[in-house]
Amino acid sequence: MKQVVVIGGGPAGYVGAIRAAQLGAEVQLVESEAIGGTCLNIGCIPTKALLHTAHLFAELSSGSSGVVAENTRLDWPMVLRHKQGVVHRLVQGVEGLLKANGVKIHKGTAVLTSDGTIEVGGAAPLKLAADAVILAVGSEPVKLNFPGSCLPGVIDSTAALSLPRLPRSLTIIGGGVIGVEFAALFRSFGSEVAVVEMLPQILPPVDGEIASQVRKELGRRGVQFLTGARLTEVVEKDGALCARVEIAGESREIASELVLVAVGRKPRTGGLGLEAAGIAAERGRICVDANFQTNIDGIYAVGDCNGQIMLAHAASAQAVAAVEHALGHKSAYFSDIIPACIYTDPEVASVGMTEEQTRARGLKFKVGTFPLAGNGKAVIESGGTGMMKIICGDKYGEILGVHIFGPRATDLIAEAALAIRLEATVDELISTIHAHPTVSEAMAEAALAVSGRAIHWPPRKR
């Protein structure tokens, strides 16, 4: 029986451990903190639990659907208890799955050694050896070094999930996915929010047309955006934190109760013993081949620690592929078909190439867009805000990318991912009957719009 040691218990680690056990290996998993990793404990799950509550609160407070609640108020301690209850339940579930699959869990910090073994420090130190080692140590928030970065009230995304009380105002440094999600979250709870982004547009990886719509919608709800803005310092002034930024050579000041630094994440590989083990890394990112194997045979690195794409579902898929390769099985991982989701209200989701990427590659393509104002279910759920966008090849109509801004976008994107995986064309999307009334109907409408045949939107004037 082959021996597999997995270091890290997040979405990459625990999924890889379970898959290795399914394939007949004896599996040991080392985790220094809580099982579930960043995603389950201080990332995806707690953030989405808070966003769900924020959506409910905003919906009830508006009374727009005819439900009028008297004296609607937010019980912040109860909100945090609900969030933690969700996390606790899911952590217990993952621990139960590992146990059910015969995975042995060690609590402690793992360090690779020069002789190929793994030393585990903790309450009961031990040394492990294995036929295959899966490094799944995850990532941590990037910390910016600027004047005032150590002031009380300058926080990171982890601290933002467990604030003792809601801030009256918040300045967010970083207009990427993390920053925009927190902007939507705290604005829905009633905080005054400003977002500072160094680039000309928020959400840099997102299709430009979609990113512009998100900015417009959040701006309509009161989020202030400062793009092309460089943070120079944070100072205490008149009982508040004052973020000083430079825009086109001019200095601006934004006063708020808290400053949240949300400029992304970096691999958490310090102290792992990479150098002693002879494992190659570049700026903290562990170098891997197409099978996620490092330069040392039998040692793999999956998920955030290899720096390829920092998404939980990508990490899980990489772990499965790595374990299958390590145990002599055929594996499959499609790096160009990974959905990305942003849990604003409405949601954003995309898969495949953006319009900008398609153009940069010199491909001939067509675009079909369908405003969700023409979709009955979207009008019911979010007033019809948003759009569905499909990018396809010019000659055959093969789907190259799908981008959604609207209700249920993060669920709908699975259809688009499968369509790209199966090399489907827009004609095949059109001929697939979509149920009514659903937001998914907009997928077929966007496919029809590629050739100007959308049914529920007026034709463009020629």
| In a shared domain, residues 196 and 231 | yes
Residues 10 and 137 in one domain: yes
Element (H or E) spanning 393, and its range? strand 387-393
The answer on pLDDT for 127 being more than 80 is: yes
Q: Does 333 score more than 70 pLDDT? A: yes
134 & 190 share domain: no
Given a contact cutoff of 8 angstroms between Cβ atoms, the answer to whether 243 and 220 are in contact is no
271 and 257 in one domain?
A: no
DSSP state letters, 64-133: TTS---TT----HHHHHHHHHHHHHHHHHHHHHHHHHTTPEEEESEEEE-TTS-EEEESSS-EEE--SEE
Residue 331 lies in a domain: no
The domain of 213 spans: 154-263
334 occurs within a structural domain: no
Give me the number of domains the chain comprises.
3
The string of pLDDT tens digits covering residues 321-332 is: 999 999 999 999
Residues 258 and 307 in one domain: no
Percent of the chain with pLDDT over 90: 93
The residue annotated as part of the active site, out of 52, 88, 403, 436, is 436
Is 436 assigned a catalytic role?
Answer: yes
Q: What is the pLDDT of residues 20-76, one digit of tens each?
A: 999 999 999 999 999 999 999 999 999 999 999 999 998 888 777 788 877 888 999
> What is the spatial distance between Cα 140 and Cα 460, in angstroms, rounded to a whole number?
47
CA separation for the pair 4, 326 (Å, rounded): 9
285-286 and 299-301 strand pairing:
unpaired
Co-location of 251 and 278 in the same domain: no
Give the other-Cβ count within 10 Å of 435's Cβ. Answer: 8
Predicted confidence at residue 15, as pLDDT, reads: 98
Widest CA span of the chain, in angstroms?
Answer: 75
The answer to whether residue 351 sits within a structural domain is yes
- 425 secondary structure, DSSP code: B
Of 263, 282, 309, the residue at which a domain comes to its end is: 263
Burial class (CB in 10 A: 0-12, 13-18, 19+), 164: exposed
What pLDDT was estimated at residue 61?
Answer: 84
Band (307; pLDDT cuts 50, 70, 90): very high
Has residue 77 got a pLDDT over 80? yes
314 with 390, same domain: the answer is no
* pLDDT greater than 90 at residue 166: yes
Average pLDDT, rounded, for the chain: 95
Task: Please tell me whether residues 106 and 243 are part of one structural domain.
Answer: no
Instruction: Give me the mean pLDDT over the 8-30 stretch.
Output: 98
Q: Give tens-digit pLDDT for 398-420.
A: 999 999 999 999 999 999 999 99
Confidence band of 5 (pLDDT split at 50, 70, 90): very high
Last residue of a domain, one of 243, 263, 283: 263
The reply to whether 124 and 270 lie within a common domain is yes
Per-residue pLDDT reduced to its tens digit, 203-231: 998 999 999 999 999 999 999 999 999 99
**Which SS3 state, helix, strand or coil, does residue 161 take?**
coil
Asked whether residue 271 falls in the same domain as residue 130, the answer is: yes
Task: Mark which of 298, 326, 354 sits at the end of a domain.
Answer: 326
Per-position DSSP letters for 173-207, written without gaps between them: E--SHHHHHHHHHHHHTT-EEEEEESSSSSSTTS-
Is the same domain home to 34 and 120?
yes
Q: Which CATH number does the domain housing residue 135 bear?
A: 3.50.50.60
pLDDT of residue 124: 76
Q: Is residue 332 part of a domain?
A: no
- For residue 335, tell me if it sits in a domain: no
- Residue in the structure block whose two tokens are 């496919």: 447
What's the pLDDT band for 278 if we cut at 50, 70, 90?
A: very high
Decide: 192 and 169 in contact? Cβ < 8 Å. yes
Residue 390 CA neighbour count, 13 Å, CB half = 33
pLDDT value, residue 64: 76
Per residue in 380-392, pLDDT tens? 999 999 999 999 9
- Is 162:82 a contact under the CB 8 Å cutoff? no
Same domain for 19 and 132, yes or no, is: yes
pLDDT at res. 341: 98
Read off the pLDDT band of 351 (50, 70, 90).
very high
